[in-house]
Chains A and B, each alone.
Chain A
Amino acid sequence: MIRRLSVCVTGLAQAAGARADWAINMPRGVSELSAETYDLHMMVFYWCVGIAVVVFGAMLFTMVRHRKSRGVQPAKFSHSMPAEITWTIIPIIILLIMAVPAADTLIRIEDSRTPDVTVVVTGYQWKWHYMYQGEDVAFYSTLARASSEARHRGSGIDPATVENYLLDVDRPLVVPKGAKVRVLLTSNDVIHAWWVPELSIKKDAIPGFMNETWFQADVAGVYRGQCAELCGVDHGYMPIVVEVVEPEAFQAFLDSERE
């Protein structure tokens, strides 16, 4: 049953970055920032792999070579200032090489000026509330019916039969493609966090405070995320769905909501 599902999902995996079984990496995502984040992640990862090859290589070599069973006499050396200096300076240089693009991307992430759309997201135990600032449109977004029925212990419903199990809501957040969407985040009760991996966005929703972040999706599609801060019993049951649509469809959506 898992096999059948994975065949379907692998087929869909190309479109809009849907996630497949046995996935081993984060998605590249659909925004410039998500691509930058992904590239940063891969760069640091490759540095780690490179250092691992050298360091683990040295460890493995010495474990094979310098063993008593080969009849070697142990050497006596226990100091080397040049070696110590080298392996202090080189890591510092590598870290500097990583730190520059990281700081660069971070500065861009924190720049939420001149948004096109602003949405106020409020976390509740255990659902989200979305309000389009200046548009008179607001609604709650809760776990979809099918997931909600299947998730209980002893429900008798196999999660594999539920589409987008635990990642589906009754009313998704709809935003226009290519628009800079500023997200203002707060909470009504405890700390929650709003996370959509393909939009590379995650920020805490804190009661009594307003947090600010932004995203700009360049590809239309449906993107799914989950609450990312423990918030009580149903922390795992308050997903996020963002539907990125053409600007005209977005206007149509707002109009229909206002009726």
Chain B
Amino acid sequence: MSTAVAEMEAHDHHGPEKGIRRWLFATNHKDIGTMYLLFSLVMLFVGGAMAMVIRSELMMPGLQFVDPGFYNQMTTMHALVMIFGAIMPAFVGLANWMIPLMVGAPDMALPRMNNLSFWILPAAFTILLSTLFMSGGGPAGGWTMYPPLVLQTGDAFPYLIFSIHLMGLSSIMGAINIIVTIINMRAPDMALIKMPMFVWSWLITAYLLIAVMPVLAGAVTMLLTDQFFGTSFFLAAGGGDPVMFQHIFWFFGHPEVYIMILPAFGVVSEVIPTFARKPLFGHDSMVYAISAIAFLSFIVWAHHMFTVGMPLTGQLFFMFSTMLIAVPTGVKIFNWTATMWGGAMTFETPMLFALAFLFLFTIGGFSGVMVAIVPADIQYHDSYFVVAHFHYVLVPGALFGILAAVYYWLPKWTGRMYNEKLGQIHFWLTAIFVNVTFFPMHFLGLAGMPRRIPDYATQFTDWNFMASIGAFGFGLSQLLFAYIVISCMRGRGEPATAEVWDHPKGLEWTVPSPAPYHTFDEPPRVPPAQTFS
């Protein structure tokens, strides 16, 4: 122990590097976390701009602004950017910032690999977004890249595959880092079961990432070889099967959507107890529920494929396994409600987003139960009902989780309280517009409007018009969020205390605000009051 201390003192504690070197060669988890978060904010606006193109075109029947080919590029790229550029990197940014602080570690286990994990992403997205300017335009076969259609992509095709590979590498390396940090570098007093829920949610998410990102890599590599090297994995003429791609893709794809929501569950489990001033209800059950959801996520993938021509037994199995996921998810919703019950709640912005998550993610869960029912799903599949379902779980689900986390921890990161009044305005605008945008899509799907079409029959006009208005409002409101965050980063606002909120639990609140560049150089003692369970 004393040798280690002596080595530490021998190092030059000179603070961060100057200029661009600090960022390009960053190994500090706080700096890397900040870069991930800022990158994801930029990607949110890039994906959002594409959504604005989509909703502008869909506002009225007839084609006003874009041609169908470009429209398909927009829907494809909107999803790729939001999933791989906004939601996932934001959660990795939160993990980088908070996991070492929450477990009492000085940094992530593998700081240089951490740097690579981040810097791969701007490269990958430069490649992906540049395809929009290539001959033939960007990929337009949907983010799901089904063959044979995706093999009709022009020059963009190899760049699409390559950028997906890069994003996968980034995720896998990040996940390894997270697991090793959590398993190996916790403060001695912190048993696994006593970790905060955000850390638990990321431990499980990291295992999901390592399990499924390689499967996606395999699937897109097979697309590549079918296109360029004469294989026939997915081409019937050569003895292959387009449906096999769907099985492989969704074996990745379903755990992927849980990868995008589990950290949000973790955030909500941090925020609600703090603002209810009451411990999380059923901490151990919450851990088991997340584990059950993660396990079940591997055995439901074909519910994305109910109209593909699957044997009856397969359809029955996947229907039942999909319905089963509602049970542990319901347990979590009830436990969060029970956490609030009997508490003494205040409704600062992080709590507002967490509570909106509770309400609106549950609505997404209800439409999820509906789409699990195969005979009904035969009607919902590939219609706007599905678009409504997944936007409810992703936007007021995953995105609100991220927004709650940012408001919750921003004072710790910057040392400044964000403007609470502006935060509340941002919340209300966002929460109202998100419903105006996505609720009508349930109706459109039930009324018979398919997905991924640039123009529609006139009876779909009214709800589409409403959804587009909602989308414009939602998009504009996020500019307010950018303003709030950047103001805070630039030092505007009241100075924040170490605790920031009203006696929150967790090691992150025992260090000053802003958190010093190096924290927990020595492993902390974890007082019982700071443990969970």
Contact = CB atoms under 8 A, between A and B. Distances in A.
B344 A74 contact: yes
A23 to B, nearest CB: 4
A98 interface: yes
Interface in B41-94: 61-69, 72
A236 B345 contact: no
A79 B457 CA distance: 53
A254 interface: no
Interface residues of A, number: 101
Interface stretch (A14-22, A129-137, A171-179): A14-22
A106 B315 CA distance: 8
A22 B277 CA distance: 44
Given A20-B459, A21-B461, A153 B67 contact: yes
Contacts of A204: 307-309
Contact of A62 (B282, B337, B373): B337
Contacts of B281: 77-80
Interface centre among B142, B276, B279, B345 (most CB of A within 10 A): B345
B309 A203 contact: yes
Interface residues of B, number: 95
B278 interface: yes
A195 B382 contact: yes
Contact of A74 (B66, B319, B343, B446): B343
Given A20-B459, A206-B308, A236-B455, A66 B376 contact: no
A66 B236 contact: no
A221 interface: no
B149 interface: yes
Contacts of A55: 333-334, 337, 362
B334 A87 contact: yes
A45 B355 CA distance: 23
Nearest to A150: B62
Contacts of B140: 232-233
Contacts of B517: none
A24 interface: yes
B381 A228 contact: yes
B309 A211 contact: yes
Contacts of A59: 337, 340, 355, 358-359
B308 to A, nearest CB: 5
Given A23-B443, A24-B447, 18 more contacts: A21-B458, A26-B447, A26-B448, A58-B337, A67-B347, A68-B344, A72-B344, A84-B331, A103-B316, A107-B312, A190-B152, A195-B382, A200-B378, A211-B308, A236-B68, A236-B452, A236-B453, A237-B68
Interface of A: 2, 5, 9, 19-27, 33, 36-37, 40-41, 44-45, 47-48, 51-52, 55-56, 58-59, 62-63, 66-69, 72-80, 83-84, 87-88, 91-92, 95, 98-99, 102-103, 105-107, 109-110, 150-153, 155, 157-160, 164-167, 189-191, 193, 195, 197, 200-204, 206-209, 211-212, 225-237
